[in-house]
Amino acid sequence: MRITSWNVNGLRSIIKGKYDSWLYESEYDVICLQEVKMQEDLLTSSMFHSKSAYWNSAIKSGYSGVTTIVNPSLVPISISKGIGDSKLDNEGRVLTTEFKSFILVNVYAPHSHRKLLRLEEKEIFIRKFVFFISNLRKFNKPIIIVGDLNVAHQEIDVFHFKSNEKNAGFLPQERQWMTNLLSMGFVDAFRFLYPEKKEYSWWGLMHDLRERNIGWRIDYILVDNILKDKIKDCFYSKEQFGSDHCPVSIDIDI
């Protein structure tokens, strides 16, 4: 199975910019999108042809939102939105899809903001998300978490790590959240396979940062420890343009 995740930073802009051919490739069994900035409507119901699309859109138009696109060969058992916090859930940040053999959690975590104006919201999300994942364990199924977590976990995940130690996305409490998630029985699939490899998934839009590969790795696939030996590959598609993020994908026997 191949699962992929991409923060598209506006799905309409991806389509209008003709960067959307990637979305229709049959080699992906599940595609998780973040920051779609769209509401579910008649247009979206036919957007992905034969594939089924499940949405958790933000109440606010043109903001946030996540979508999980599933090939016809996979039939979800259940779909659930949010993590149980009414304010954050209105922002359309988490969509959970239960399949026969695993549970997939599509996440777009809040950004703490350049001036840390949303640090409180991020910290609330951090606590609630950990509790949410703990509750998912009652289903006794392996869990895979994918998406834009808006945090670089280790120094290797930020090009300029020393100058970003007090900045949003690399704060101690944000990095500790990642450590806590992994301690709940997950592996960072890419880092599990490539412990010393420097890859990034987000680049600022100014100063040719993407071309110079000066970026952050903030998009992840976290795999239940039970499944870690079934991971065949995990990779970032830097050649896929259309967003300030690039997709991250996993090949896994499940």
Cite the active site residues.
108, 148
C-alpha radius of gyration, the chain, whole number: 17
Residue recorded with tokens 């042809």: 49
Residue 70 phi, psi (nearest 5): -125, 135
Q: Strand order in 231-236's β-sheet?
A: 52-56, 66-70, 30-34, 2-7, 248-252, 231-236
Distance CA 227, CA 165 (A): 33
Provide the 3-class DSSP secondary structure of residue 103: strand
53 membership: H or E segment, kind and range: strand 52-56
